[in-house]
Amino acid sequence: MLRFLLIIAFFFTPLLIFAQNIRHLTVEDGLPQSFVSGILQDRNGFVWISTRNGLARYDGHTFKIFQHDLKNKNSLSSNIIVDIKNGHHNDLLIKYASGEIDKFDLKFEKTKSVIGLSFIRKNNLESHRSIWLITKDQKFWFKTTNEKLYYFDIKNNKLVNFSSSLDLGDLIYNILEDHQGNIWILTQKTLIKFDKKSLQVKKFPIPYSNYTSQIGGNTVVATAFIERKNGEIVWADKGNMYFFNPKNNSFKTQILPVKSPYNIKWIETDKNGKEYFVAKNTIFSYSSQSGIQIIKDFSSLIDKKPQAFLVDYTGLFWVGDDADGIFTIDTSLNFNSFNYKKDFIIDLLNQEYGISTEDFFKWKSNQPGILKASYYFKSSKNFLALNRTVAFFDKKLKKLKKLPELPFNSEKKFNPIEGISNEGEALFVADHSNIVYKMNTVTNKWEYFFNLNNFSEKLKVSSMYLDLKNQTLWIATESSGLLRLNLNNKKLQAVKILSISDLISLEPDLKNKNYLWIGSTEGLIRFDKSNLTSKIFSVKEGLPDNVIYSMLSDSSGNLWMGTNKGLTFFDTKTYNSRAFTKHEGIENIEFNRFHQLLLSDGRMAFGGADKGVLFNPKNIKSDVFSPKTVITGIKINNEDFQRFQPNTPQSDYIKNLTMEYSENTISFSYTALDFRQPQVIKYRYRLLGYQEDWFLAGKNREAIFTKLPPGKYTFEVNATNTSGKWSSQVKSLKVTILSPWYKTWWAILLYLLIFIAGIYFFIKLRINQEVIKNEIKAKQKEAEELRKLDEIKTEFFSTFAHEFRTPLSLILAPAEQLAAAENSREREQLFETIKKNTNSLILLTDQLVDMAKLEAGVLKPQMVWGNIVSAISATVHAFEEEASAQKVFLKLDAPESINCLFATYSLDRILYNLLSNALKFSCPGDYILVKVSQDNMGVFISVQDQGIGIPEEEQNQIFDKYFKGTNQNPQKGTGIGLSLVKDLVDLHHGSVHLESSTQQPTGSTFTIYLPFTEEENIIGDKEESTQQTNEKLSILIVEDHKDLAQFISESLSELYHVFTAENGRVALEMAVEEMPDLIISDVSMDEMNGFEFCKLVKNNITINHIPVILLTAKADKESMMEGLSYGANDYLTKPFSMVELKLRISNQLTLQAKRFEFLKNKFSKGETSQEPESGDEITNEFYDRICTIIEKNLDDKDFGVDQLASALSMSRTNLHRKVKAVFSNSTSEIIKIYRLKRAAELLKKDYNISEVAYMTGFNTPSYFSKCFKEYFGTTPTKHL
């Protein structure tokens, strides 16, 4: 790669002067006094300085002064401070010249006396200025001026003379407390350890004989005395450092490189464990790996003995003087300054190599000219050009080798070389006359290549870059912009770059081959050679200045640039920049054009007006320290927060800030605790809840927010480090601005309640108004409806009265005639007339009752399983005589049978009303067709007539109660028949549909659909009427012995259907579910034994009829009696004979069959009042309970299976299964048989058929007669 650089390879060590990156803090900067007695850094990062005029806290920018105040009891006890130390509880320990010691609370910035004057005067003690400490357990150890060692127990107010119990015998130089709480005492000849736990004292004689002690003498001067991080005890004198290892009680020493005129007073440890100390106004470092190294000689700054020393968290050195304040020394940046007299390059050549520019380059000292150079990384060859001479530096011989001089043009004018660029051995130069020459490496001669004047005579070359890969020579000019010269066809082209014509330097991008970096008077330009586009970086993007005077690329591809505002680093990947000025050790921040040097070892040199800077970019590390940002002040409405809140902690300790709504203007002062270069640190802040995005504040250290609305906020502030990277530590503080009382939650809640109450009362008022209005309307409507209803009822009852009078007349008249009639035939006709009209009255009465029950919701259908066609046929046949009398043809079209569940009474009522209406509106010769069909879901019943029809406008009202159409037959109706039909159909979840026409052919068709009823919704049950189809009886075997259970099961399986259960609990559930005919149970079982199981079976009404045979190994009589007492029907001991078991099973089943046969005969033949003569007690009890319950509900026609099951506390299914097992009948059959038997008894007591029918719970006398005939084989009349 070819680079156009202003470079020379040379070594100029004698000229180097180390950069003085030193800051001087004096009274003018805010120090309370120039005499500094102590410096330390607290745990929060602040630096504290003690003086003879008070205490100062430094944050990198300002000093906060604390002094004695007579009016403030919490102020310092004195202004004359001789020493300060860090305490153990976020506090400082301050020692005054008087010997007093205060504890300074860092949070509230208040002092509290620890050792007062009264204690000192009372004990006549005068402690040494710096040989003292306060331990973690609150004991004050101190040395007196007469070489005595005391400690004062602060908690117990007790003074102890430690010297009296220990013969020290030497001068005491210092004391310390280690991390374990042990006290170490350094004397002139001995190191002493006091173990506070064991109260033992150990002495370790210091082997000074092995080396020369520099402490000696009688002058008592405290020496540095610390514990290292590895536990070693370290101290130092005028010429040595001493180390004691408590682990093996060994000593070692390290000789200092200089002899100090006084003992070394301070040894400071940084965060990495490296020790630093001061000797002879020089800072040294020590580590176990590298030993002692010189860090900084500051003797030019301080002539006398320094009074204080500190190494802070960042590695910055602080030195306190006794008359000149504080000096901070930053050694982290390795910039070295050098001086030159005449010219940046010429002086270096002459002084370093003894090269005379007059002899070598034939250049007079008074001639103008600038040395130009080109350096190619791959070959490490440096080409130098001065005047018209070109040479290269031979690194091996460390000599310059001259190339032939450039030929003169025809005018013979002095035209020095302005530009030079090479890539490998290829070398191009351009002189002042704008002629481009190329070196022919074969002939070793310069060849004319191109005349730039053809483009412009005013052109002036400032820099060149050779790109052999693309056969292009890029030329930067001072007034004509960027030129591109094609090396193949020698065509020159101007490239427009953002309208910028004044270019100074060119640098290739080592990271991206397409980019070329150009320094200009408008900023740094990134030029893309592939598409000829440009991007500029200026002050807006963070550069310190727009004019780039000089520029070099380092080995990482990043740029270093000389400007009028310092040396600038630019990262070509992230585009971040960093400026280095006097604060970083750059003494001359104004750099010159073309004063740039790149050495073959990677070092760089940049020159200014009279000084230059030399550095290695690799040694300029990016700062990785993340400074802590602290809040140094808070103002509320432009008043200091602590001023009107005196008991609050200092600003940085405040975590939550609560203010009234009127205190809505707040400002925060803040700073980053990085003392190396505080002036380059930048800040950003935001107020979450008000300002979510970061506000870039630059170097401003105050954030102001005005007129903040009430709410909760979080203030966050963040700072960069010296490299411009944002710190990972973000300082935050929660801020709450209270709402005014009229905006508080309770006030808003009150407003809301008032508002809701207002709305509520308004709505309530309107509702009341509407209610009253609606009530008036409702009452008016109700009155109108009542009037209409009254009219309807009046008409209804008039009609009904007429309907009653006609049959009554037909009853009364025949009755009178019957009294006078003598002819039996005549009497029979009169009886028939009376009977017919009596039935009519009964039907009218039943309709009224049914209508009332439907309205009350108490009419429930009594479902039975059977042939619905037979029931329909019976009703139709009942109308045949009347139809025949009216000469109307009545026909039934139905299949032979449809077996389903249906309600006989409801079906009879529906068909009666439909057929009555059909006959009422039919004329002689008409026909009435009753048609029955079915689908998968239900039964269809239609009644079709050829009557007068129903008008279409009345068809929607025909099923309304009391409605009577206008097209009435002379035979007026009551208006409730079709309404009753509709209600009964709805009760069965069916539907009724009307098709009618008043036009020829006239007639009406009523179609009824009745869905098949689910079993769980019925009273009668299909399964109740089905016979048990299992031929084998079932036996449940309860045995926990699997082999025995299997044996019994296999032995009985040919004769019986066998179930098995492993214990009584499972068997009980299975018995209820399967209802076996007999149970065989073992006695000894887990979970539930046979006795408990037998007891539960006999107490369960569902299964207590099942015989139980117990099997047991216990043959004693007591066990047998116990089993029988639990209700066991038989008892068999193990081992048993299978033949015997089968016989016992047979006997029990035979006996059970006889019991059931007896009960069945009782139901079917015997009198219900007769007590059974045989059967077991359990079965008789069940029999009695059923009879008693049915008897109590004998006249209730709605009493059925569900009611009986409920009375017995059994499920309907279990009741059916038990009744089936005991009586061989279904439950509904049992109820019906009992009613029929009681009816037969009542008929013998002179009750008529109708009375007996209703007394025994039958819906109608006709249905009662039908059932009576089916059961007894004769009609009730004949039974009489």
pLDDT per residue as tens digits for the range 907-942: 888 888 888 888 888 889 888 999 999 988 899 999
Tokens 């001087």 belong to residue:
24
pLDDT at residue 19 in the model: 47
What percent of the chain stands above pLDDT 70?
A: 81
Q: Name the most confidently modeled range: 124-133, 727-736, 990-999, 1184-1193.
A: 727-736
Locate 192 and state its tokens.
């002493």
Is-contact 384 371, C-beta < 8 A?
A: yes
CA 997 – CA 511 distance, rounded (Å)? 102
Residue 865 to residues 47, 1018, 1229, Cα–Cα distance (Å) = 105, 10, 11
C-alpha distance across the termini of the chain, in Å:
139
pLDDT at residue 1017 in the model: 37
The single-letter code of the amino acid at 468 is L
- Single residue among 743, 772, 806 that ends a domain in this structure: 743
pLDDT at residue 376 in the model: 46
pLDDT at residue 524 in the model: 96
- Where would I find the beta strands (DSSP E) of 280-425? 282-287, 291-297, 308-311, 317-320, 326-329, 336-339, 372-376, 381-386, 389-394, 399-402, 417-423
**pTM of the predicted structure, to 2 decimals:** 0.56
Question: Is residue 182 a part of any domain in this protein?
Answer: yes
pLDDT at residue 1198 in the model: 82
CA 1021 – CA 1025 distance, rounded (Å)? 7
pLDDT at residue 1007 in the model: 92
Which carries the bigger pLDDT value, residue 403 or residue 1009? 1009
pLDDT at residue 359 in the model: 53
The single-letter code of the amino acid at 258 is V
pLDDT of 354 strictly over 60: no
Question: Is residue 797 a part of any domain in this protein?
Answer: no
Question: Is residue 10 a part of any domain in this protein?
Answer: no
Question: Is residue 666 a part of any domain in this protein?
Answer: yes
Q: If you average pLDDT over residues 1181-1202, what whole number do you get?
A: 83
Residue 873 sits in a domain whose CATH number is: 3.30.565.10
CA 1068 – CA 1085 distance, rounded (Å)? 13
Residue 637 sits in a domain whose CATH number is: 2.60.40.10
Q: Name the most confidently modeled range: 116-125, 643-652, 748-757.
A: 748-757
Is-contact 332 317, C-beta < 8 A?
A: no
Helix or strand run (H / E) with residue 863:
strand 863-867
**Rounded to 5 degrees, what are φ and ψ at 645?**
-130, 70
Q: How far is CA 805 from the centre of its chain?
A: 86
pLDDT per residue as tens digits for the range 690-712: 999 999 999 999 999 999 999 99
Nearest Cα to 726, choosing from 632, 631, 624? 624
pLDDT at residue 842 in the model: 67
Residue 971 to residues 566, 799, 807, 964, 967, Cα–Cα distance (Å) = 126, 10, 14, 12, 11
| φ/ψ bin of 724: left (φ > 0), alpha (ψ from -120 to 50), beta (otherwise) | left
Locate 461 and state its tokens.
């070359």
Which residues span the domain enclosing 865? 860-1018
pLDDT of 1173 strictly over 70: no
Instruction: Give residue 1218's pLDDT band: very low, low, confident or very high (50, 70, 90).
Output: confident
The single-letter code of the amino acid at 730 is V
Same domain, residue pair 597 and 553: yes
Q: If you average pLDDT over residues 4-32, what whole number do you get?
A: 60
- Where would I find the beta strands (DSSP E) of 288-371? 291-297, 308-311, 317-320, 326-329, 336-339
pLDDT at residue 812 in the model: 58
pLDDT at residue 1026 in the model: 37
CA 1230 – CA 1021 distance, rounded (Å)? 13
Which of 69-73, 659-663, 1042-1046 is least confident?
1042-1046
Is-contact 579 567, C-beta < 8 A?
A: yes
Is-contact 1000 1031, C-beta < 8 A?
A: no
Question: Is residue 774 a part of any domain in this protein?
Answer: no
pLDDT per residue as tens digits for the range 271-301: 778 888 888 788 888 888 888 888 888 877 7
**Biggest alpha carbon distance in the chain?**
184
- Single residue among 153, 182, 205 that ends a domain in this structure: 205
- Where would I find the beta strands (DSSP E) of 395-530? 399-402, 417-423, 426-431, 435-440, 445-451, 461-467, 472-477, 482-486, 492-495, 503-508, 515-520, 524-528
Which of 1183-1192, 1201-1210, 1216-1225 is least confident?
1216-1225
Instruction: Give residue 2's pLDDT band: very low, low, confident or very high (50, 70, 90).
Output: very low
pLDDT of 17 strictly over 50: no
Alpha helices in 208-296 (DSSP H): none
Find all residues with CB under 8 Å of 21, minimum gap 6, and list them.
329, 330, 331, 333, 335, 583, 584, 585
pLDDT of 218 strictly over 60: no
Same domain, residue pair 879 and 999: yes
Q: If you average pLDDT over residues 524-549, what whole number do you get?
A: 93
Same domain, residue pair 592 and 670: no
SS (H, E, C) 722-737: CCCCECCCCEEEEEEE
Q: If you average pLDDT over residues 185-206, what whole number do you get?
A: 89
Same domain, residue pair 281 and 413: no
Question: Is residue 553 a part of any domain in this protein?
Answer: yes
Q: If you average pLDDT over residues 896-912, what whole number do you get?
A: 84
pLDDT per residue as tens digits for the range 238-267: 778 899 999 999 999 888 887 766 678 888
Same domain, residue pair 648 and 585: no
Same domain, residue pair 516 and 649: no
Is-contact 437 390, C-beta < 8 A?
A: no
Residue 1102 to residues 483, 1069, 1079, 1093, 1099, Cα–Cα distance (Å) = 114, 12, 14, 14, 9
Question: Is residue 52 a part of any domain in this protein?
Answer: no
The single-letter code of the amino acid at 30 is G
Query: Is there a cis peptide before residue 207, judged by omega within 30 degrees of 0?
Result: no
pLDDT at residue 1230 in the model: 81
pLDDT at residue 910 in the model: 87
- Where would I find the beta strands (DSSP E) of 162-290? 172-177, 183-187, 190-195, 200-205, 225-227, 233-236, 240-245, 250-255, 267-269, 275-279, 282-287
CA 534 – CA 529 distance, rounded (Å)? 9
Residue 231 sits in a domain whose CATH number is: 2.40.10
Same domain, residue pair 392 and 269: no
pLDDT of 10 strictly over 50: no
pLDDT per residue as tens digits for the range 1108-1122: 998 876 666 676 787
- Single residue among 961, 993, 1018 that ends a domain in this structure: 1018
pLDDT of 11 strictly over 60: no
Which carries the bigger pLDDT value, residue 503 or residue 1198? 503
DSSP state of 720: B
Q: If you average pLDDT over residues 943-971, what whole number do you get?
A: 74
Instruction: Give residue 442's pLDDT band: very low, low, confident or very high (50, 70, 90).
Output: confident
Same domain, residue pair 188 and 259: no
pLDDT at residue 1022 in the model: 40
> Could you tell me which residues are beta bridge partners of residue 240?
255
Nearest Cα to 107, choosing from 87, 86, 91? 91
> Counting beta carbons within 10 angstroms of the beta carbon of residue 194, is it exposed (0 to 12), middle (13 to 18) or buried (19 or more)?
buried
Q: If you average pLDDT over residues 423-429, what whole number do you get?
A: 82
Nearest Cα to 268, choosing from 304, 306, 218, 303? 306
Find all residues with CB under 8 Å of 794, minimum gap 6, and list them.
none
Q: If you average pLDDT over residues 1217-1226, what whole number do you get?
A: 75
pLDDT at residue 694 in the model: 96
Domain count, the chain: 6
Which of 443-457, 618-632, 675-689, 1147-1161 is least confident?
1147-1161
Q: If you average pLDDT over residues 1183-1205, what whole number do you get?
A: 84
DSSP state of 29: G
pLDDT per residue as tens digits for the range 879-896: 887 888 888 898 999 998
Same domain, residue pair 189 and 224: no
Locate 722 and state its tokens.
């010296």
Residue 477 sits in a domain whose CATH number is: 2.130.10.10
pLDDT of 480 strictly over 60: yes
Find all residues with CB under 8 Å of 1022, minimum gap 6, and list them.
865, 901, 1015
Alpha helices in 547-701 (DSSP H): 641-644
Same domain, residue pair 149 and 163: yes
Nearest Cα to 1007, choosing from 992, 996, 988, 997? 992
Instruction: Give residue 571's pLDDT band: very low, low, confident or very high (50, 70, 90).
Output: very high
pLDDT of 1056 strictly over 50: yes
- The mean pLDDT value of the chain amounts to 81
Residue 1215 sits in a domain whose CATH number is: 3.40.50.2300
pLDDT of 601 strictly over 50: yes
Is-contact 47 57, C-beta < 8 A?
A: yes
Q: If you average pLDDT over residues 1040-1067, what whole number do you get?
A: 86
Locate 643 and state its tokens.
């001023």
Instruction: Give residue 194's pLDDT band: very low, low, confident or very high (50, 70, 90).
Output: very high
Tokens 């009253």 belong to residue:
772
Same domain, residue pair 198 and 218: no
Q: If you average pLDDT over residues 83-107, what whole number do you get?
A: 92
Residue 818 to residues 520, 809, 831, 1248, Cα–Cα distance (Å) = 146, 14, 8, 20
Question: Is residue 309 a part of any domain in this protein?
Answer: no
pLDDT of 1020 strictly over 60: no
Locate 681 and state its tokens.
């640190």
Same domain, residue pair 547 and 507: yes
Contacts 24+ apart (CB under 8 A), 428-432: 428/464, 428/466, 428/473, 429/385, 429/390, 430/461, 430/464, 430/475, 431/388, 431/406
pLDDT at residue 1169 in the model: 40
How many residues in total does the chain contain? 1280
pLDDT per residue as tens digits for the range 856-866: 565 667 777 78
pLDDT at residue 735 in the model: 95
pLDDT at residue 732 in the model: 96
Which carries the bigger pLDDT value, residue 326 or residue 1183? 326
pLDDT per residue as tens digits for the range 371-399: 565 554 444 566 777 777 787 766 666 66
Instruction: Give residue 503's pLDDT band: very low, low, confident or very high (50, 70, 90).
Output: very high
pLDDT of 1172 strictly over 60: no
CA 1104 – CA 1004 distance, rounded (Å)? 59
